[in-house]
Amino acid sequence: MMFDRRLLQHINWSLLGLAFILFGAGVLNLYSASALRVEGGLTLTPFYMRQLVWGGAGFLVMLLIMIIDYRHLKSLSWYLYLLTIIFLLCVPIWGKTIYGAKRWLGLGFFNFQPSEMAKVCVLILGAKVLTKTEDVLGWRDLVKVMSVALLPAILIIKQPDLGSGLILILILGGMILYKGLKKRVFKTLLIMLPLLLPLAWNFLHDYQKERILTFLNPERDPLGSGYHIIQSQIAIGSGRFWGKGFLEGTQSQLRFLPEKHTDFAFAVFGEEWGFVGSIILLIFFCSFLYQIFLVSQEAKDKFGTYLVIGVFFYFFWQVLINMGMVLGLMPVVGIPLPFISYGGSASLVNFCLIGLVMNVSMRKFMFKSG
């Protein structure tokens, strides 16, 4: 089979470069946040080393996804979705408990988190369903699209992982808003959603209610549920304008800051690189999102457009919620910061989604609009 060289000409190097800059910043940050851990008499590999391994694996996955025409995903979307549901159903039975939560499936060499796979598969199936709906969604189409996220979101929230469950709903919500809603549907939702919040409160676990109450008043339990957010705010505030310098963050180096390699990795960055460094990181994230949005506008079919818009909202919500919770502007819901937080499954998914965007970008010349 002949290889079309035009595919290489349409690689989005700006997006690829920004992704690697963000990943590099994350590895550098993890180098600072890493400390040799000892479990059962064994010294474990530092987080930054393991992140490099996952980054290398993610890069290979990205290349593989770039090669296969993204339009084949339309016919595979239901199979991928059902496979995800099976994995999620296996978690309560054969799942592995880490940090007090059963969210992983142990595969020997790798602890796999099915909720990360669910984000990709729901996004793909959501894009397919949206291509078959009317240009502006009514109630029937809205229910049809949102039902794609319902079952996996319930299974993930029951693990319990409220943050990842909400991300599924937010990704599809963003894709729906991009497509458009009929005015009467939009107005009704604006009225209904605030009224449903008291009902949703009753379904939360006690620790999740505690996190929300702590968000409203962190000082109510400064040594318990409020400890994370108070230490995070101290770390970022102590960085001031220019930061304390690389490897000089006292809150992180002296281990006052919990979860400094995962959910609160941005607090380590803010302490060492200050306001200026944090703004530069935010500019890189905004440029990264802008490049993804540009690809969505250049796609030559609806499926490609919705696929890339789904990826846009995946990264948008993850960045917004993680930075919001680290700064104390949102409740702590356990959402990692893409490329900056440590995570094997998350790293694979991040590069997998970049592969999807590159795939659409590379094939924008291959067929007419439709």
**The total number of residues written for the chain in this structure:** 370
Interval 326-351 mean pLDDT: 91
Highest-pLDDT range among 210-219, 231-240, 244-253, 289-298: 289-298
Distance CA 61, CA 126 (A): 22
Which of 113 and 37 is assigned the larger pLDDT?
113
Answer whether residue 2 shows pLDDT above 70. Answer: no
Interval 123-129 mean pLDDT: 96
CA angle 243–248–246, rounded 5-degree value = 70
| 80-121 pLDDT tens trace | 999 999 999 999 898 888 767 788 888 777 788 899 899 999
At position 201, the amino acid (one-letter code) is: W
Is pTM beyond 0.75? Reply is yes
Helix (H) or strand (E) run with residue 98 in it: strand 95-98
pLDDT of residue 3: 62
Highest-pLDDT range among 107-111, 205-209, 234-238, 292-296: 292-296
pLDDT of residue 227: 84
The closest of 164, 128, 166, 172 to 147, measured between CA atoms, is: 172
Average pLDDT, rounded, for the chain: 88
DSSP for 227-287, written as a single string: HHHHHHHHHHHHHTTT-S-TT--HHHHTT-STTTTTTTHHHHHHHHHHHHHHHHHHHHHHH
Answer whether residue 239 shows pLDDT above 60. Answer: yes
Phi-psi region of 133 (alpha: psi -120 to 50; beta: other; left: phi over 0): beta
Helices (H), 44-161: 47-67, 73-94, 114-131, 139-157
Reported confidence tier of residue 334, pLDDT bands at 50, 70, 90: confident
Reported confidence tier of residue 38, pLDDT bands at 50, 70, 90: very low
Interval 58-65 mean pLDDT: 95
| 249-306 pLDDT tens trace | 888 777 788 888 888 999 999 999 999 999 999 999 999 999 999 999 999 899 999 9
The closest of 253, 246, 160 to 209, measured between CA atoms, is: 160
Q: Contact, 355 vs 61, CB < 8 A?
A: yes
pLDDT of residue 30: 92
Provide the token pair at 292. Answer: 């993804």
Interval 341-346 mean pLDDT: 90
Distance CA 276, CA 23 (A): 19
- Which residue in this structure is represented by tokens 């474990």? 44
DSSP assigned state of 70: G
pLDDT of residue 369: 47
Provide the β-strand partners of residue 43: 38
pLDDT of residue 370: 44
Answer whether residue 1 shows pLDDT above 70. Answer: no
Distance CA 307, CA 329 (A): 30
CB atoms within 10 A of CB 195: 8
